[in-house]
Amino acid sequence: MKELALVMPVYNEEACIREVIQSWLEELTRLKINFYILVLNDGSRDNTEEELRHFDGYKGIRIINGHNNGHGPTILFGYHMAIEEAPWVFQVDSDNEIRPDHFEALWEKRNDYDGLFGNRQKRTQETDRKLVSLLARGLIRFLFGKGVKDPNVPYRLMRSVCLKKIILKIPIGTFAPNIIISGAFALQKLRICNHPMTCWGRATGTTKLASWKIWRSAVLSFLQTFEARYKLRKL
């Protein structure tokens, strides 16, 4: 079995995806980790799939090109695969906003925790996204208690045995599963590390949500989080 399974959802990242994957390959190799990288192309409409062919045949990398199911369902699909591959699961997005620089610190501290989460510092966001992020933090704290400071951060290292119990309670079509997972870690009183890190901001690619859709998506996410809270209390 591998030591680490890395889950990376991808959507329209032709400009940077090769650089991102290569940077993670180099860092995990440098740390001498026995790893497995699962790259999930969520129906990209640009040349992402063509760029990913560069890694065909690479040891330790599996690339799955699928239909556009959405960021949340893609992450959950990856988690369900990853928990069977390694005792530790790490999720990171493919937009290069948070780079491998901080991973070594998480990996070195892993034995003392069940989940190690990035806490993005001085993050630049549009007003709507910033408000939604603040509401998400408040909602998670209210429903689940103190725990993960940045509940939707796409930079998280989690014990598979803990993650498995949680994701089995989360429907595969959930819009923002990472928020619910963060809350579940607090609810179950698991050992949590919040690690401050630099967020560089998106330089390439596209986001799936136009600004006018942000609030509609936030409402959906909040409703799903309320529903998940009821299911997760039975763990």
Alpha-carbon distance of 43 to 67, in angstroms, equals: 4
Q: Which of 94-98, 115-119, 157-161 has the lowest mean pLDDT?
A: 94-98
- Domain of 29 in residue numbering reads as 4-232
Residues 6+ apart with CB under 8 A from 167: 76, 79, 80, 83, 177, 181
- DSSP strand pairing (35-42 vs 4-10): parallel
Are 165 and 235 in contact, with CB atoms under 8 Å apart? yes
Amino acid present at 118: G
Helices (H), 168-213: 177-187
CATH of the domain at 60: 3.90.550.10
In eight-state DSSP terms, residue 114 is: S
- Sign of the C-alpha dihedral computed for residues 91, 96, 100 and 101 taken in this order: negative
Q: Is 59 helix (H, G, I), strand (E, B) or coil?
A: coil
Q: How many domains does the chain have?
A: 1
In tens, the pLDDT along 19-77 reads: 999 999 999 999 999 999 999 999 999 999 999 999 998 989 999 999 999 999 999 99
**What element of type H or E holds 21?**
helix 17-30
pLDDT at 229: 85
pLDDT band at 201 (very low <50, low <70, confident <90, very high): low
> Residues 25, 28, 32, CA angle at the centre, nearest 5°?
130
DSSP β-ladder status, 88-92 and 155-159? antiparallel
